[in-house]
Amino acid sequence: MRLRSLHLCVITDPELARGRDHVAITEAALSGGADMIQLRDKTGSLRDLLPQARAIQALCRARPALFIVNDRLDLALAAGADGVHVGQDDLPAEAARRLLGPGRILGVSTHSREQAEAARAAGADYIGFGPMFPTGTKETGYTPRGLEGLREARAAVSLPILAIGGITLENVAAVIGAGATAPAVISAIVAAPDIAAATAAFRKCVATARALAKPRPASQGHRGLP
């Protein structure tokens, strides 16, 4: 599973999930085609989260999909996750990189070109970028960055970019077109009545948008022409 080939990261926020827990969200999201699961839980106890994280790790390994833990690097290590995702208020990326070692994935939330460049310099394997659009999810207080902000980040770093924040079936194609590797989705998927169906719909939109956005090999003609 290479980061550059990712289609869709689903973030398992239980507050929006109508009572479904992290494992239930993961099972549905994987069956719908998510290829990265990020466990995010700012309030649960690690005693409760560790068994869930281990179950998610096994589900992702079997698929295969990548399993990333938000913020809690200790939980990521204890569960044998593929990596950790840190925000600008979490463990600094340099420290996380050092603790993770080279074998695990480090993702870093960024909200500007400068933060994207700093994350790359600190050893991030991918960056989150956003919020793209207004969102119902409780967020960091940053104003939406929009497609133009994403294009700036895309021009600044060659890392895979997971765009986040207010991404829907209506705007995801534009987000891919502006340079995102894949979307990271919370509310539009975990709050949906049918998580698997919502995931599958996103996955299909992303695949279509990527096929359109991808430069064709030279032998098949110029970019954008059939």
Please report whether residue 73 would count as binding a copy of itself according to CB under 8 A. Answer: yes
Which of 157, 162, 71, 176 minimizes the C-alpha distance to 119?
157
Give kind and range of the element (H or E) at residue 106.
strand 105-110
**Among residues 91 and 197, whose Cβ is nearest to a copy of itself?**
91
**Among residues 9 and 49, whose Cβ is nearest to a copy of itself?**
49
Nearest-angstrom CA–CA distance, 84 and 97: 9
Please report whether residue 114 would count as binding a copy of itself according to CB under 8 A. Answer: no
Give kind and range of the element (H or E) at residue 18.
none
Please report whether residue 72 would count as binding a copy of itself according to CB under 8 A. Answer: yes
Given the rule CB under 8 A, which of 7-15, 82-90, 120-128, 218-226 is the region that contacts a copy of itself? Answer: 82-90
Given the rule CB under 8 A, which of 75-83, 143-151, 184-192, 203-211 is the region that contacts a copy of itself? Answer: 75-83
Instruction: Mark residue 195 as left, alpha or beta (left: phi above 0; alpha: psi -120 to 50; beta: remaining).
Output: alpha
Which active-site residues does the annotation give?
A: 40, 109, 138
Q: Which residues have CB under 8 Å from 197's CB, separation 6+? A: 32
Q: Which residues bind a copy of itself (CB under 8 A)?
A: 45-48, 50, 71-75, 77-78, 88-92, 95-96, 98-99
